[in-house]
Amino acid sequence: MPHLSQIARRKIFWLLDTLQGGTTKRHYKEIKEIHSYPQDVSIQHRRKLNLDKLLAHATKTTSFYGELGNLANLEDFPIIDKNTILNHYDDFKSDQFEVSKLYKASSSGSTGIPFSIYQNNSKRTRNTADVIYFTQQAGGAIGNKLFYIKLWDHTNAKSKWETFVQNIFAHNVMDTSRKELKSLVSRIQKHKSPKTILGYPSFFEELCDYLDGQEQPLSVKNVDCVISMAEALKKHERKRMSDYFKAPVFERYSNQENGILAQQTQGSNGKYLLNWASYHFEILELHSDKHVESGGLGRIVVTDLFNYSMPMIRYDTGDMAIYEESKDGLPYLSKIYGRRMDSIYNTSGEIVSPFIFYMVLDFSKIRQFQFIQTKKTEYLFKLNGNPKDVPEEEIVNYFRTYLGEDAKIRFSYVEEIPLLSSGKRKKIVNHFHKEPATS
């Protein structure tokens, strides 16, 4: 049962929103309605209206889109990426907003290019409503305690007042010593009311390793759900987190520059529900701008429907996914593969699923791994483990079935796979950036 303080926070949040015009509530209601009735004609009309309004605004108020001439339909707009925006940064800003009144959303650039996007107040409110809706879809609720594990630094640190009001316990993903993990686990155990855990899979791995070594069994109550973000979550870590915290585990696909793009939910059966309420999605072929067919692997291209201060239209996120459609024609993502620049190719130039390489953990007592493609036919496993326990020949034979019989696989042994500056641990790396073969 929710604690009285959680119920009070919930009521105070919506009361304050009402006093400020009720904008979050309106956004939330629209998000819920769009996802509840996706095939309703009126819902489809509303989504199209949101898209048309954004396109018209972008062409009238930004130099970048205004100088491209007659852009009547979405398909007339160019596909852009981070480099496009960085090379024409000021041209993407709408002349309807003062920069001093905007919010700056920044990514660390640890897995690519440092990047910042300005967001207007309505966009920020939309993001808040998205968080409320998708957290609820995983089993959480506004006002409940949130154990939020990410990189907390000077750019995003919350004040004591903010953490109190939002009921957040902020744990820095870099804090992984036994003492720090013990303190976190103790806090989660002592908090008896409903709570949600949100964080990086690489941290969950560290946390579960710590819990594996404890003699006393973990006793935690009322964890509504665990939500992973920013990295791929492997089945083993999902099961361990679910077993330890007695809660379902869901994956969220989001980025700093946009917000929540997709998420697994209680009723999605492992599928990623696309956030059509706040974005328009295109899953395009790797070598053309043609939309993939159901079951196809494509690049994720997003149009942000609510950022009017710096419109992002047909923005290539750099990630890939398997696009599918249900029997009634509803689109969803069955798998999200992450950044194309870190895709692994077999010796014939075809993309190999990154999740294959997690199987190395089944061969021996390996604590951590990193798989690197160094050349067209050459690969490297960096392993944190005892070389005497690693059956290298068996591993080579297994992975050659995926990489090609001419694959040369080497091994190196390290004390630690280091964290990136963002607090993430990159498992898959490509130092050989070759485009995959076309069909």
Domain end: 247, 275, 292, which one? 247
Task: Please give the torsion angle defined by the CA atoms of residues 207, 209, 213 and 214, in that order, rounded to the nearest 10 degrees.
Answer: 20
- The predicted structure's pLDDT at residue 322: 92
Structural domain contains residue 360: yes
Domain end: 247, 262, 294, which one? 247
- The predicted structure's pLDDT at residue 257: 92
- The predicted structure's pLDDT at residue 219: 85
Structural domain contains residue 77: no
Structural domain contains residue 68: no
Match 């004040």 to its residue by tokens. 159
Q: Total structural domains in the chain?
A: 2
Domain end: 219, 247, 275, which one? 247
- The predicted structure's pLDDT at residue 108: 56
Q: Which two tokens stand for residue 351?
A: 């993309």
Q: Which two tokens stand for residue 104?
A: 């700056």
Query: By residue range, what is the domain housing residue 365?
Result: 343-430
- The predicted structure's pLDDT at residue 113: 58
- The predicted structure's pLDDT at residue 90: 95
Supply the CATH number for residue 366's domain. Answer: 3.30.300
Q: Which residues pair with 351 in a beta bridge?
A: 345
Structural domain contains residue 377: yes
| Cα 153 to chain centroid, rounded | 19
Q: What is the pTM assigned to this prediction? A: 0.81
pLDDT digits (tens, 9 = 90+) for 100-135: 999 988 775 544 556 889 999 999 999 999 999 999
Supply the CATH number for residue 189's domain. Answer: 3.40.50
Structural domain contains residue 402: yes
Structural domain contains residue 362: yes
Structural domain contains residue 60: no
Q: pLDDT of the chain along its 439 residues, tens only?
A: 567 777 888 888 888 889 999 999 999 999 999 999 998 999 999 999 999 999 999 999 999 999 998 888 999 999 999 889 999 999 999 999 999 999 988 775 544 556 889 999 999 999 999 999 999 999 998 888 999 998 776 556 666 776 776 788 889 887 888 999 999 999 999 988 899 999 988 888 889 989 988 888 888 889 999 999 877 787 888 999 999 999 999 999 999 899 999 999 998 999 999 999 999 999 999 889 999 999 998 999 999 999 999 999 999 998 889 999 988 788 999 988 867 656 788 998 888 877 678 788 778 778 788 899 999 999 999 998 889 889 999 999 999 999 999 999 999 998 888 766 555 677 888 888 654 444 3
Structural domain contains residue 9: no
- The predicted structure's pLDDT at residue 436: 44
What's the rounded Cα separation, in Å, for the pair 321 and 336? 4
